[in-house]
Amino acid sequence: MESSTLNFTSATETQLGLIEQSFDRRYSCWVREALDELPDNFTITDPCISGHPIVFASRGFLKMTGYAREEVVGKNGRVFQGPKTNRRSVMEIREAIREERGVQVNLLNYRRNGTPFWMLFCMSPVYGKEDGRVIHFVAVQVPILSKRRRIGKKLSEDWLGMQEMVFGSCKRELCSDYMVDYDCVSGLDAETREVESDEHCEASEFERSRAAMAIQNIFSVLTHYSELSGRLVCGKRCCLPGSGFLSSSLVVSLGRIKQSFVLNDPTLPDMPIVYASDAFLKLTGYDRHEVLGRNCRLLSGVDTDLSTLYRIKESIRNERACTVRILNYRKNKSSFWNLLHISPVRKASGKVAYFVAVQIDDSSKNQERQELRSEMRQELRPEMRQLGVVGSVKVAVRSSSMAASPSKS
C-alpha cells in the first residue's frame, strides 16, 4: 500500500514538473504575470504532456467556473463537461486537436458547483516557429448571452461604436477592457444573463468578435515572451514539418504507453531520439529537452560492451529486431543493466519510419524484485512486456499516418 502511494506521489510530482517546464522552457519568466493581466476567460493546454493537461488557466476562467487554479492545472478539459454536454461538439474539438487546427463550437460546460452554462469555445494551436511543431493549444471561452440579453447586446455594440469615436486613438488593450467590463452595466446578474442548459443557442457576432480579440491578445503576449526567451512561437505554422516531426496526436497516443521507451528517426542524421516516454526519463534521470535530438549513445559509458553496440548497429542496418542486455549509464553517471529491445516500426507501405527501443532495468536487485512481483501477481515476462510496447507504438504510428493521409490528398 505504501509503495503504491509513493508511486502515485512520484507520478504526480513528475506531471507537475512537466507542467512547469511547459512554460519555463518556451517563454521568459514573466509570461504568467502578463497572461494574468488579460481580462479574458481562457486556458492553455500542452498536447505533448500525457493526458493533454491544462498548464495555465486565466483569472477570468477561474472566476467564471468557480475553480481554484490548483484544481484546474494538470487536469484535462473534459472535467468541465457534464451529462448534457453535446458529444458531437466534443468530438469536433478532439478532431481539431488531432488535425492540429483551430475550431469554434457552442458548448455546454459546468461550473464547480454543478451549474451548467453555454459558452463559445474557440481553440487555436500555438506553433514553434523554428520547426512548426504544436507547442500549446489556447482555448478561449466566452459565455453566450440569453435571448433576454439581445437588447443589452445591441446596446453594448452601440456603446463600443461610441467608444471607437471617442477613444479611437486608444490602445487595443483598453478597448478590450471596455468590452469585458461592460457586462456589468446591464443590471442583470450572471445567472440571469446566461442561457439555460436546455436552451440551445448560437453565439452572436458580438461574442465571436470577443473570442477573436481574446485570441489575438493572448498570442501577442505569448509571441512577445517567446521572443525574450529566443524560442519563438506563432499562430500559424511557419514551416512545413519534415522528417522527424511528430504530430501532437501521435505524441498523445504515445503518452498513453507507460513503459520506458524511445522513438528514433532513421531518416535523420545520426538517428536521433524524436520521442522519449516519461518512464524513460524517470529511469535515466534526464529531462526531455536533454534527450530529444540526441542519439541513444548518450546512455553508453566506459564499461559499455562494444560488441553489444555492434550487434545493435547491425540489427538497425538490416532493419531487424534484436534484444540485448547492455550496461548503460544514467545522467548522474550511475550504471544499470538495461534489458533492451529494439524493433523497426514500419509505415503501411512497408518502409521503416522509426525504430522503437524499449528499456527494462535488469539490475540484480531490481530483477529480484521483479521476480517476486511476478510470482505474486503473475505479471508478464519482460520480453512479453517489451513486445506489448512495440505493438502499441506500431498501432499509434500507423493510426497517425492513416489519419494524416486524407489531409494531404
Q: For the chain, what is the HEC assignment? A: CHHHHHHHHHHHHHHHHHHHHHHHCCCCCCHHHHHHCCCCCEEEECCCCCCCCEEEECHHHHHHHCCCHHHHCCCCHHHHCCCCCCHHHHHHHHHHHHHCCCEEEEEEEECCCCCEEEEEEEEEEEEECCCCCEEEEEEEEEECECHHHHHHHHHHHHHHHHHHHHCCCCCHHHHHHHHHHHHHHHCCCHHHHECCCCCCCCCCHHHHHHHHHHHHHHHHHHHHHHHHHCCCEECCCCCCCCCCCCCHHHHHHHHCCCCCEEEECCCCCCCCEEEECHHHHHHHCCCHHHHCCCCHHHHCCCCCCHHHHHHHHHHHHCCCCEEEEEEEECCCCCEEEEEEEEEEEECCCCCEEEEEEEEEECCHHHHHHHHHHHHHHCCCCHHHHHHHHHHHHHHHHHHHHHHHHHHHC
pLDDT at 189 over 50: no
Chain segment 92-119, per-residue pLDDT in tens: 998 888 778 899 999 999 999 999 999 9
pLDDT at 355: 95
Give the range among 178-182, 252-256, 343-347 with minimum mean pLDDT.
Answer: 178-182
pLDDT at 62: 96
Closest CA to 23 of 304, 188, 225, 263: 225
Q: Could you give the CA distance from residue 256 to residue 259 in angstroms, rounded to a whole number?
A: 9
Per cent of the chain over pLDDT 70 is 74
pLDDT at 166: 44
What contacts 271, CB < 8 A, 6 or more positions away?
264, 265, 295, 316, 355
Under 8 Å between Cβ of 291 and 282: no
Choice between 180 and 326, residue whose per-residue pLDDT is larger:
326
pLDDT at 149: 52
Choice between 182 and 201, residue whose per-residue pLDDT is larger:
201
Strands 352-361 and 116-128: unpaired
Chain segment 349-369, per-residue pLDDT in tens: 788 999 999 999 987 655 545
Output phi, psi for 230, to 5 deg. Answer: 85, 5
pLDDT at 122 over 90: yes
Q: What is the mean pLDDT of the chain?
A: 79
Chain segment 37-66, per-residue pLDDT in tens: 999 999 999 988 878 899 999 999 999 999
Choice between 404 and 118, residue whose per-residue pLDDT is larger:
118
pLDDT at 63: 95
Assign 183 a pLDDT band (cuts: 50, 70, 90). Answer: very low
Choice between 296 and 235, residue whose per-residue pLDDT is larger:
296
pLDDT at 378: 45
Give the range among 91-95, 227-231, 314-318, 398-402 with minimum mean pLDDT.
Answer: 398-402
The structural domains of the chain, ordered by start, are 2-144+194-234 (3.30.450.20), 248-408 (3.30.450.20)
- Average pLDDT for 323-338: 94
Choice between 31 and 366, residue whose per-residue pLDDT is larger:
31
pLDDT at 162 over 80: no
Q: Which residue matches cell numbers 529494439?
A: 342
- Average pLDDT for 291-309: 91
pLDDT at 4: 47
Give the range among 106-115, 149-158, 390-399 with minimum mean pLDDT.
Answer: 149-158
Assign 406 a pLDDT band (cuts: 50, 70, 90). Answer: very low
Q: Exposure string (b/e) for 177-197, b if CB count within 10 Å is 16 or more?
A: eebbebbeebebeeeebbbeb
pLDDT at 164 over 60: no
Q: Could you give the CA distance from residue 40 to residue 141 in angstroms, rounded to a whole number?
A: 8
Under 8 Å between Cβ of 14 and 48: no
Choice between 360 and 29, residue whose per-residue pLDDT is larger:
360
Assign 292 a pLDDT band (cuts: 50, 70, 90). Answer: confident
Q: Could you give the CA distance from residue 280 to residue 256 in angstroms, rounded to a whole number?
A: 13
Taking only Cα atoms into account, the Rg of the chain, rounded to an integer number of angstroms, comes to: 25
Closest CA to 85 of 103, 106, 63, 54: 106
